[in-house]
Amino acid sequence: MATNRYDEAQVLGRGGHGTVYKGTLSDNRIVAIKRSNLMEQNQIQLFINEVIILTQINHRNVVKLLGCCLETEVPLLVYEYASCGTLFHHIHYKGAPEMSSLTWEIRLRIAFEIASAVAYLHSAASPPIIHGDIKSANILLDENYTAKVADFGASRLVPLDHTHINTLVQGTLGYLDPDYFNTSQLTDKSDVYSFGVVLVELLTGEKPICFERPEEQRNLATYFTSLVEDANVLELIDAQVAEDGNLEQILAVAALAQKCLKLKSKERPSMQQIAANLQGLRRVDPSGWNHRPNHNTVTAYLTSEAIDLYSTPLSSTDGSSLETSMTVSTDIAR
């Protein structure tokens, strides 16, 4: 595997458990190679855990593990290569020459693809899997901007007779489920909260934590939730989303994100319900509202019973459906 001796120029990304390099196999296939940062036994165990979990997953929106080598100086994992990098960079560095702007249509599709993959982990995998670190930096994009959920080193397999796992609290600041933080109980609803933050990133183009913002705005999830409650959420919507998006869809996704961000985990929807809702929203007439609604209209829409998370079943014929279709770090999302 050629990585030019792990040349810095080949680095695709860095995480708490390893560095990912761009590499080339003997058949000229381009791959991503994850190299452990340390030789400590617990780091090796995380890599083994990732292998165990990824060999149980077969979903078009989960990154594919192609091979591994645990007998080298440090463990290596070989993945399919996602040529367009991470969702985080496309959202937050859209001014960079190598980054293309994501249209609202693409953002909504990416949101659905992430949701369907995580719903698969929670409901179709056996035993169920909690990812534990859903964030935009762990979502890869291929050449068609198809989402691939990645980084499963510290994911957890959930015994079938359990609803949660007691564990040392880990995660990424800005995405971390407050209920998990307070109880040390990791549940599938912890992934739901983190996904809600990713939804807000897609809507606003803002980072989950930013100390350059005023104090009341530093935590994006908290600030966003307050704006939704006051029906002022359109103030925070990304300019491109507001320009080319359908306002009905935008407000519905904002309401969905708010439900994901409920402080009490039991009040959040399941990932299956979220995926079904997003699939239904993608079918909304794109012509929709062609004017900016007034404050009263936004208030009525955000509080309307018409926004029903549970009414749109997943199509069994959709190529991205659940049936055809977890690692943690303590770094601040940069």
Q: Which residues are catalytic?
A: 133
- In the chain, which segments carry CATH 3.30.200.20? 8-80
- More confident: 36 or 166: 166
Binding positions:
34
Give the per-residue pLDDT at 130. Answer: 96
CATH architecture of 8-80: 2-Layer Sandwich (3.30)
| pLDDT band at 74; cut points 50, 70, 90 | confident
State pTM to two decimals: 0.86
pLDDT, tens digit (0-9, with 9 covering 90-100), for 45-57? 777 888 889 988 9
- More confident: 318 or 117: 117
Binding positions for ATP:
34
Sort 185 into a burial class: Cβ within 10 Å, 0-12 / 13-18 / 19+. Answer: middle
pLDDT, tens digit (0-9, with 9 covering 90-100), for 226-241? 999 988 999 999 998 9
- In the chain, which segments carry CATH 1.10.510.10? 85-283
Determine the CATH number of domain 85-283. Answer: 1.10.510.10
